[in-house]
Structure 1
Amino acid sequence: MATLRALECFVAVCQFGSVTEAAARLHMSQPAMSHQIAALEREIGTSVVERLSRGVRPTVAGRALLPDARAALAAAQRAVATGRAVARGAGGQLRIGCAESMTAGLLAPVLRAWHRRRPGVHLGLTELSSADGLADLVGSGMVDLAVGPRPSRWAGFESLVGSEEVVAAMAGGAGPEPVTFTQLAKRSMVGYHPDNGLGAWLDDVAAERGVALTVLTRTRNATTAAHLAAAGLGVALVPITALPSAFPGAVRRLDPPLLRDVVVLLANPHDPLARRFDADICRRGVRVPADIAVQLGPAE
């Protein structure tokens, strides 16, 4: 197959009508230029330039080849430009996975900043309610990175975003004191569908603390669970990132506090786009909405 260098030499010879001039423009020796043209002619099986007493010109075959040769060089230049744009964070496609409960509070501000600062980068988003499911997406190459709780199985590269507190959401009017799991065992709970890994984790935590929670209503979404709790359907244990600003219900800490790590899983830690996004997520960290922080008060 003809090399891009041979095509570049052929196009230059046709453009300048001289092997000597083409060699000078491409910073090559004349013998090296002639060698590239000869290699191209061997590949094609016929001459592509005609040697004249003063310079050269394309043959019939050369004239037929010239448009495609120019197109191939232009395509190669575009490919290099695209690669350089991706390397400096100005182009390309980044496929992101995120825990559903963290999309609005943690991920959305970073996505918004990327759309503003890097309009040439296409961002794709896949949401799941399972940390292990997110790890599977990254491991299979379906996404380039994933943001969520630390999965139970992951041997690849990860960055720690921070620790997220899980709190009790309930109808308004509750007192400010923290809530124990013993107290929660006496209340009706808004729980999670088995597809949501948060539910199984909370059941394990409750079992470790010697209680079983009575779940009367289940949902797949943590934000929905918080709203159901605010409407009086029970108490919901909700990660802080899932709580919307101006939450209509009451929010209380657990006693003892319940925390989980939030991480970024990377399919390829050397990918420039993924590492830039990872850095921005970690720089932002896990934040508590101002109105929720007021309800919770200072952490003990």
Structure 2
Amino acid sequence: MPTLRQFEAYLTVVDEGSFTRAAQQLGVSQPGLSQQVAALERELGASLFSRLPRSVSLTPTGRALLPHARASVDAAARATTAARSVAGTSAGELRIAAVYSVGLGLLPGVLTRWRADHPGVGVRLLEHRTAETLTAAMQGGQADVGIGPTPTGWRGRVRVLGAEELVVLLPAQGPPDIRGHEIALQRLADVAWVQYGAGHELSAELDAAAQAAGFRPKVAVRTEQTAMAPQLVDAGIGPALVPAGIVPSSFSGRIARPVPAVERELAATTGAEPDTLTSRFVALLARSAVLMPPHVAERLS
């Protein structure tokens, strides 16, 4: 029967794309890693990888094994964490899956508090471009808690964190004028926006908001990095629609609420019976999550 060590070796090669980098990541020799993968291939009776000159690719057998191997390794990690929690130890690992734009705004402050109270607990942050991939990761057992837009039809536990406002950022100079800290989105129909990459959660938010206002946004530049949007606006590239929580205090441009308002409900999701560590983290998140930073609220008041 395959062992967890063999699965971990195989998964690391998949994630790193080569035996050399996988061996470095695991801190083992390349021959030792190759022996683990070879033993797994003998157990399964088929090759898992096609060896290429500079990389490796999965065979059909390798692709079929992938979700099951991940589930096995993740289940073992969850079992270890749960056992340590029940035993009252302070060790373990918490795996947090979050949508890019949500994690950037919510998690730094919450994790500071968490680490102060649980210094022996490791944290693995798994970031996702969309709510759909986040939900799929949670369904596959790849994380203990998911943080993002509230999913529909989730069969585990859902802890609603509140409604997050999305705000419009504009360069410090140039039209249009802002009155009363609000701006009608249709006034920005003819300007080119700072937009996100296709498939990014916030790209869909801007497209939907613009469509509701009667236009399709022109694009000045696309970025995959959520944190880059305020910087590009500050550089005068164009406006951007961003979650209030990611606006840095150093942002020197203008901030306005869009009309009509753009909001999304955020939630933390877990399995039906989360372990002690996960439950503690969700409780802390619900108490401490800041959806509207004081420096943004002050500029909008």
Deviation per CA, 1:116-174, whole angstroms, max 9, x where unpaired? Answer: 11112111111122111111111101111111122466443211011100000111145
CA apart distance, 1:204: 2.2
Equivalent pair of 2:155/2:272 in contact (CA under 8 Å): no
Aligned to 1:136: 136
Aligned to 1:180: 184
Aligned to 1:112: 112
- Give the Cα separation in 2 of the matches to 1:80 and 1:154: 25
Aligned to 1:206: 210
Deviation per CA, 1:94-120, whole angstroms, max 9, x where unpaired? Answer: 111112223343111121112111112
* Partner amino acid, structure 2, of 1:239: P
Structure 1 unaligned blocks of 5 or more: 1-78
* Partner amino acid, structure 1, of 2:107: L
- Give the Cα separation in 2 of the matches to 1:88 and 1:184: 56
TM-score between both structures, scaled by the size of structure 1: 0.67
- Give the Cα separation in 2 of the matches to 1:204 and 1:89: 47
Equivalent pair of 1:176/1:295 in contact (CA under 8 Å): no
Distance 1:255 1:217, change over 3 A: same
Equivalent pair of 1:129/1:196 in contact (CA under 8 Å): yes
Deviation per CA, 1:218-256, whole angstroms, max 9, x where unpaired? Answer: 111222112111211111000112211222221111112
Structure 1 residues 216-227: aligned runs within 5 Å: 216-227=220-231
- Give the Cα separation in 1 of the matches to 2:110 and 2:222: 30
Equivalent pair of 2:82/2:276 in contact (CA under 8 Å): no
Identity %: 33
Equivalent pair of 1:132/1:153 in contact (CA under 8 Å): no
Aligned to 1:171: 171
Task: Determine helix, strand or coil for the equivalent of 1:253.
Answer: strand
* Partner amino acid, structure 2, of 1:159: R
Task: Determine helix, strand or coil for the equivalent of 2:125.
Answer: strand
Residues 1:190 and 2:202 aligned together: no
CA apart distance, 1:84: 5.2
Equivalent pair of 2:197/2:223 in contact (CA under 8 Å): yes
- Give the Cα separation in 1 of the matches to 2:95 and 2:226: 23
Residues 1:235 and 2:235 aligned together: no
**Bigger Rg over Cα:** 1
CA apart distance, 1:86: 4.8
Equivalent pair of 1:132/1:152 in contact (CA under 8 Å): no
Residues 1:98 and 2:61 aligned together: no
Structure 2 unaligned blocks of 5 or more: 1-78
Calculate the aligned-residue CA RMSD, in Å: 2.4
Distance 1:89 1:128, change over 3 A: farther
Deviation per CA, 1:230-288, whole angstroms, max 9, x where unpaired? Answer: 21111100011221122222111111221111111113443211111111111113332
CA apart distance, 1:81: 11
Aligned to 2:298: 294
Aligned to 1:149: 149
Aligned to 1:75: none
Deviation per CA, 1:161-219, whole angstroms, max 9, x where unpaired? Answer: 11100000111145343111211212211111013122123212322332211112111
* Partner amino acid, structure 2, of 1:186: D
- Give the Cα separation in 1 of the matches to 2:116 and 2:179: 40
Equivalent pair of 1:192/1:218 in contact (CA under 8 Å): yes
- Give the Cα separation in 2 of the matches to 1:89 and 1:275: 15
Aligned residues: 219
Equivalent pair of 2:161/2:286 in contact (CA under 8 Å): yes
Structure 1 stretch displaced more, 139-148 or 166-175: 166-175
